[in-house]
């Protein structure tokens, strides 16, 4: 059997895009496992996605400001090859309005309000808060404000609304300053590893200044409460059974309860450089999915060829 062809999908490198430090490690590990794997840019018109048995979205980190174009690619790519995570999940999770769905299902989440274009910018007067777009990644257009900074905050809301973006408003979770933010990574629904990182948003840093998305990363052993909340969140995702990978980002509430800050189901950093012992599991699951997809493609092609032979001319 010919080795399945695998594409690890990324963004075109440019200054405003973070480097994917896991990509070379993953490509090397797949190659050492005997896989035929390459990296490919999602918006490269020269790529024929039908040549691959499996396309794995890995670091398409520019999709948040090109969402319509990206989702169009997701749909086109998934029609000619197997795409993971699946297109239905990518569509569902590419807008953080899913936090409202999780909350309605009883999952503990950070309290969230949405300010759509045209909505008044009603801001809290008694606590720090965070503004960011519902379509965002890497802390792009995210900022932290004190109540006396409403003017600056309204300027940010106006900027986002002018670009057609809905603003997401959350209280600043001060627990991040002491217990950090945790990211729990799952593969095929099973917990893989976790990291803890420092606060991303510092006071008085403008929303349009570039931030370090993952400061102070170190390995982390999640508590049973962390795992329980993460698993409840993932169980709420439509199509959860088809997830190749998932990341659940948690922070502590005022009473110490873990709260979901975000689900990362499109193109999450998996922190494989921090947890090299997890690479074998990730490689195994990718190659297994690719082999299954290759068999399915071969079966379909054989059926098409058989019909062509027996159809009357």
* Opening angle at CA 140, ends 137 and 142, nearest 5: 110
Domain 5-93+274-310 classified CATH 3.40.50.20? yes
| List of residues 6+ apart from 236 with CB closer than 8 A | 101, 102, 105, 107
Rounded (10°) CA dihedral 82, 88, 89, 91: 120
| Contact yes or no for 76/42 (Cβ under 8 A) | no
Residue 209 is predicted with a pLDDT of: 79
Confidence of residue 141 (pLDDT cuts 50, 70, 90): confident
What tens digit of pLDDT does each residue of 178-209 get? 888 999 999 999 999 999 998 887 787 877 77
Secondary structure letter of residue 165 according to DSSP: P
Instruction: Lay out the sheet containing 82-84: strands in order across.
Output: 36-41, 5-10, 54-59, 82-84
Across 165-182, b (16+ Cβ under 10 Å) vs e yields bbbbbbbbbebbeeebbb
The proportion of the chain whose per-residue pLDDT surpasses 90, expressed as a percent, equals 78
User: Checking phi first, is residue 16 left (phi over 0); if not, alpha (psi -120 to 50) or beta?
Assistant: alpha
Secondary structure letter of residue 59 according to DSSP: E
Q: Is the pLDDT of residue 308 over 60?
A: no
Residue 306 is predicted with a pLDDT of: 47
| Contact yes or no for 73/102 (Cβ under 8 A) | no
Residue 313 is predicted with a pLDDT of: 56
Residue 300 is predicted with a pLDDT of: 55
Residue 210 is predicted with a pLDDT of: 79
Residue 207 is predicted with a pLDDT of: 77
Q: Where are the beta strands (DSSP E) in the chain?
A: 5-10, 36-41, 54-59, 82-84, 113-115, 129-133, 143-145, 167-171, 181-187, 190-197, 218-219, 245-252, 258-264
Fold agreement between 5-93+274-310 and 98-264: no
DSSP 118-154: TS-----SSS-EEEEESS--TTTT-EEE-GGGHHHHH
What is the C-alpha separation between 290 and 7, in angstroms, rounded?
10
Q: What is the mean pLDDT of residues 3-25?
A: 91
| Contact yes or no for 217/160 (Cβ under 8 A) | no
What tens digit of pLDDT does each residue of 45-55 get? 999 999 999 99
Cβ count near 274 (within 10 Å): 20
Q: What is the mean pLDDT of the chain?
A: 91
- Sketch the domain layout of the chain as residue ranges: 5-93+274-310, 98-264
Cβ-defined contacts of 208-212 (< 8 Å, 24+): 208/141, 208/159, 210/16, 211/138, 211/139, 211/142, 212/139
pTM greater than 0.85: yes
What tens digit of pLDDT does each residue of 289-306 get? 999 999 877 655 544 444
CATH class of 98-264: alpha beta
The alpha carbon dihedral of 241, 268, 29, 85 has a sign of positive
Residue 8 is predicted with a pLDDT of: 98
């Amino acid at each position: 059997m010919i080795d399945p062809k695998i594409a690890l999908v990324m963004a075109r490198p440019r200054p405003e895009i973070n480097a994917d430090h896991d990509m070379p490690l993953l490509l090397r590990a797949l190659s050492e496992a005997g896989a035929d794997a390459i990296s490919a840019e999602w918006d490269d018109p020269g790529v024929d996605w039908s040549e691959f048995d499996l396309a794995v979205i890995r670091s398409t980190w520019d999709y948040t400001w090109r969402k319509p174009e990206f989702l169009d690619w997701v749909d086109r790519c998934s029609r000619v090859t197997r795409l993971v995570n699946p297109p239905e999940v990518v569509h569902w999770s590419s807008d953080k309005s899913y936090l409202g769905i999780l909350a309605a299902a009883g999952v503990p989440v950070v309290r969230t309000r949405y300010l759509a274009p045209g909505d008044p910018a009603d801001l809290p007067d008694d606590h720090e808060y965070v503004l960011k777009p519902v379509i965002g990644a890497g802390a792009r257009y995210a900022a932290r404000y004190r109540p006396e900074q409403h003017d600056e905050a309204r300027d940010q809301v106006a900027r986002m609304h002018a670009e057609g973006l809905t603003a997401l408003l959350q209280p600043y979770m001060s627990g991040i300053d002491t217990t950090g933010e945790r990211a729990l990574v799952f593969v095929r629904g099973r917990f893989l590893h976790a990291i803890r990182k420092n606060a991303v948003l510092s006071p008085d840093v403008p929303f349009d200044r570039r931030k370090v998305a993952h400061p102070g990363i170190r390995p982390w052993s999640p508590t049973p409460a962390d795992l329980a909340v993460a698993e409840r969140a993932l169980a709420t995702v439509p199509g959860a059974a088809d997830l190749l990978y998932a990341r659940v980002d948690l922070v502590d509430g005022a009473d110490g309860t873990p709260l979901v800050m975000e689900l990362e189901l499109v193109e999450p950093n998996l922190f494989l450089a921090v947890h090299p012992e997890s690479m074998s599991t990730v490689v195994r699951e990718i190659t297994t999915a690719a082999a299954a997809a290759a068999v399915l493609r071969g079966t379909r092609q054989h059926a098409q060829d058989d019909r062509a032979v027996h159809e009357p001319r």
